[in-house]
Chain A
Amino acid sequence: MLELINIYKTFNACSLSEVKSLVNFSLKINKGDFVTVIGTNGSGKSTLQNIISGTISPDSGSILIDNANVTNWREDKRASLIGRVFQNPFTGTAPGMTIAENLALAALRGKIRGLRWALRKKLVAQMKEKLSTLKMGIEDRLDAPVGTLSGGQRQAITLLMASWLEPKIFLLDEHTAALDPKSAEKIINLTKEIVESRKLTTLMVTHSMQQAANLGNRLIMMHRGRLVRDIQGEERNRLKTDDLLNMFEELRLLEQLDESAAEMLQENYI
């Protein structure tokens, strides 16, 4: 379904602020896989999603979606293949437009027609149905401007919008991190519901060890632009939050084995 082959991405190359955001990164994800992505700050998780969506292009390497090589496709050309939700609940929706207008934008993506025309009975009924599954009491407020909703409510609408047309790839980047715990819980339940019921191929970046351990059928860990762990199958099923904490601790220890430690060990290890 999604294939990344030997992706390299360096920012500010050859300068003091050079960062190798992705280093020889390869990953193959099957249709319907729900992958949780963890990693330290700056390990390249967002860069990875930006490369998939075409927001930035890799220095080298290729990206295949459904066997089509999309490496040179512009972001807008890939847009119909990809649904995305970010951390900030205020970026995914247009605050001045109504709930109905926002949803219509998502439902009619790629079909540029007048919104008035678009808001036909059938679509409105569909909207009400989907909104009522949120149990947030907003199905009766279709004409309220999105700007009047809470962060949690807006993130829920963003999720609906991003998944409305069943994208081939669903990208979530810490999409509950900016919410209060109660809203975060609601959003994560909604996420699970949407991803599982529509079998969306999903990459979800999270800093929550609970989310990473409890959701999805595969987990990857990134560090300094590299894929350092890829856990699936039986091993993934048995994974607990403690194991994830241990993985981070292992990374921390590994980082401390620097040149001076290497020299010391050469001298002192038998």
Chain B
Amino acid sequence: MKISSSQKGNIFEIQVSGRLDAYWSGLLDTEIEKAVHGGKHKIALDTSGVEYISSAGLRILLKTNNRLKSLGGKFIIKNPSANVIEILNLTGFGDLFRESISSSEDDNNNNADDGKISATLEASPDNYMKCTISGRADFWNAKDAGSISSDALEASENVFAIGTAAFGDRHESCKSRYGEFIAAAGAAAYLPTDNAKEADYMISTGDFIPKLHSIFSIKCEGKFSRVFNFEQEKTETTAMSEICRRALELTSSPRASLMMIAEIDGLSGAFLRKSPCEIKPAENIFAFPNIREWLSFTPEKAHQGRLAIVCGVVGSEREDFGGSMKPVDMKNDISAHLHAAVFNYIPLRQGKLELSAAVKGLFSEEKIHTVMHLINDNRIYSGAGESVFSRGICWVSPVKEIIRKGL
């Protein structure tokens, strides 16, 4: 038995030969899984050398066929040997694969669809975002916990927001839970700090809009003006800082709002473990080891292979957006404040991706692992660096108006 693979045009071809028994089916499954994960959604299985297919092998063929179809891709059984055709017919799967079976080489010349992710952009380049900053980011400089105030925030369809918040409609009931939050396109998630280990989330449905209370928030309201996608070229990954630069370039603006769905190569981030309302007078939350009660971070890049929704703001002025911006890399020219929600991996459907549907789909179908504040761990030898992604799609818009609330 042998399994090998190669890219032929826009088709990823896997050659198998020998007996496709239960053992080799497992290996083939892994190989296909790897390819799908790597963005190959058009796969041809060259079966010219296959002598036998067991039920386990048939199961893999069926599974792959269904999976690729649901992703808008394609599964082709190429050059099937007489044995393969016989088995498919005998088991009654012949019809199912009729369309998929191909003996010609020229399936590769169809270049209409380049297999990349792209997005619909229903609006014009004139779109922009209005931004409202509420509360203060540096809660640790508050006189005492009692002086920390909060503000209601609704995660409506056109709101893209990050900060420190909790689900609820009163400060009193949220007090012990405030944590990192993200809101995008009618969905919202936050990481509670009251010992609950899991991120909590809500999705707007019908007349229902998720309600949060925040002690600090950057809320962008409006529509995106541009969208771009990026894909890992062989070994290179795309860094968060590159995406931020691209966002400012594309919007020709000193400050922009950003929303992205991307496959994670490694996230570098930190998150609150304790509600800011628990702070004691004159407490230094950054002092070691006290900081361990307050913050957690990713000592090495985390969540590789999962999916992230990243939301936030980027700009060339650090003092913008309530002074909560931090340099995205060592160059120090661009700063950002970004949060990420981390989900189980599903391949991004190739072809057109509609923002609201994509976000809601992720929130409602995939397990959400965590919400974190992205950082650039700039320690020279031991730092995890900045977050990197293998492929994704990013919506951006210039921020034209900043309103400061509740200082």
Residues of A at the B interface (CB closer than 8 Å) are 246, 253-254, 256-270
Contact = CB atoms under 8 A, between A and B. Distances in A.
Interface string B365-405: 00000000101111100110000000000000000000000
A270 B138 contact: yes
Nearest first, the 6 closest Cβ-Cβ pairs linking A and B are: A256-B299, A266-B286, A262-B288, A270-B324, A270-B137, A268-B375
A55 B382 CA distance: 42
Contact of B378 (A246, A262, A268): A268
Contacts of B337: 270
B297 A265 contact: yes
19 contacts: A253-B297, A253-B298, A254-B296, A258-B288, A260-B382, A261-B299, A261-B382, A262-B286, A262-B288, A262-B291, A263-B286, A265-B297, A268-B270, A268-B377, A269-B326, A270-B137, A270-B324, A270-B326, A270-B373
B295 interface: yes
B383 A265 contact: no
A262 B137 contact: no
B196 interface: no
A253 B296 contact: yes
Contacts of A262: 286-288, 291
Contacts of B377: 261, 264, 268
Interface footprint category on B: 20 to 34
B34 interface: no
A265 B291 contact: yes
A254 B298 CA distance: 10
A255 to B, nearest CB: 9
Contacts of B296: 253-254, 257
A263 B288 CA distance: 9
Q: Is the interface of A mostly helix, strand, loop or mixed?
A: helix
B295 A269 contact: yes
Given A265-B375, A270-B326, A270-B373, 15 more contacts: A254-B296, A256-B299, A257-B297, A259-B288, A260-B379, A261-B297, A261-B299, A263-B286, A264-B379, A264-B383, A265-B270, A265-B295, A267-B326, A268-B326, A269-B326
A256 B292 CA distance: 10
**Most B CB atoms within 10 A — which of A254, A257, A263, A267?**
A257
A186 to B, nearest CB: 33
Interface in B185-215: 197
**Most B CB atoms within 10 A — which of A256, A267, A268?**
A268
A249 to B, nearest CB: 11
A86 B221 CA distance: 65
Contacts of A256: 299
A161 to B, nearest CB: 42
Contacts of A259: 288
A256 to B, nearest CB: 4
A270 B295 CA distance: 12
Contacts of B373: 269-270
Given A264-B378, A264-B379, A269 B288 contact: no
Contacts of A258: 288
